[in-house]
């Protein structure tokens, strides 16, 4: 479906099948004005998800706004990897939850698990809480925290994170100007968040717990080295559909 057709469906609260069957339906003047405004925003580079205020992720529809990143298809690889590895964690921690995408998707995959989702942005947490409510998910708890700073719970079986991983001078940042910069950019060539999380994660994992990251498509070796230096072993990677290593995970050496 083209962006324009998607906007028309969103405007009318109809699906593509309805639109196909009613191609000659007339829009009111108010609807035309609204559609023109959205098209102008789209032409200026505003992402479609920020115009409609929502994005599909896994089996969910999530509200998004200027305080949250737009969930990407590659982030679903975390959910797919947990599923493929047949992991059955009872306690999960999602660091930097944003819209709640990872935590809420894991909640649908693992309904018996209890999940703690954190973010340094209170506005993002408000969005994530609303997404949990809108999707009828009650097994996720949300907490304001700068990584592990405010977390007192321990013995998580799985810690997941899609932290900021873009370098401060990355040329692609100009294409992401509508998204929250603090959720995109990290110091030390985009690796600072991985270093901070790996250094502390061992204090929050259960004996056989797993730490799992999403990262940039050229960062898997650097992330693996950070994990290794922090005492993680059995480090493995998962490719996206383009053959890029996008997910890395490992466990603590016992």
112: CATH? 3.40.50.150
Taking only the tens place, the pLDDT of each residue in 54-112 is 999 999 999 999 999 999 999 999 999 999 999 999 999 999 999 999 999 999 999 99
Whether 171 shows a pLDDT value over 80: the answer reads no
* 138: confidence class by pLDDT, cuts 50, 70, 90: very high
pTM: 0.92
Taking only the tens place, the pLDDT of each residue in 204-227 is 999 999 999 999 999 999 999 999
Whether 49 is covered by a domain: the verdict is no
Whether 51 is covered by a domain: the verdict is no
Whether 71 is covered by a domain: the verdict is yes
Three-state SS at 152 = coil
What is the span of the domain harbouring residue 26?
A: 3-44
Whether 203 is covered by a domain: the verdict is yes
């Amino acid at each position: 479906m083209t962006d324009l057709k998607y906007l028309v469906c969103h405007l009318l609260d109809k699906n593509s099948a309805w639109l196909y069957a009613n191609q000659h339906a007339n829009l009111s003047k108010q609807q035309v004005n609204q559609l023109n405004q959205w098209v102008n925003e789209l032409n200026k580079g505003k992402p479609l998800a920020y115009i409609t205020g929502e994005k599909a992720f896994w089996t969910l529809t999530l509200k998004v706004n200027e305080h949250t990143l737009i969930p990407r298809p590659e982030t679903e690889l975390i959910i797919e990897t947990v599923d493929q590895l047949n992991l059955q964690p009872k306690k999960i921690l999602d660091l930097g939850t944003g819209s709640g995408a990872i935590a809420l998707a894991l909640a649908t995959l693992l309904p018996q698990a209890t999940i703690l989702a954190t973010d340094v942005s209170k506005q993002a947490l408000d969005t994530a809480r609303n997404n949990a409510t809108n999707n009828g998910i009650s097994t996720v708890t949300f907490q304001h925290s700068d990584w592990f700073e405010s977390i007192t719970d321990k013995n998580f079986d799985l810690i997941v994170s899609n932290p900021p991983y873009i370098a401060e001078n990355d040329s692609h940042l100009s294409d992401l100007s509508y998204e929250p910069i603090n959720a995109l950019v990290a110091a030390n060539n985009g690796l600072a968040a991985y270093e901070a999380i790996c250094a502390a994660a061992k204090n929050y994992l259960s004996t056989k717990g797993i730490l799992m990251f999403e990262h940039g498509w050229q960062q898997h070796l650097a992330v693996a080295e950070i994990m290794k230096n922090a005492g993680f072993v059995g480090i493995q990677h998962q490719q996206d559909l383009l053959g890029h290593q996008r997910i890395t995970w490992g466990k603590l050496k016992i």
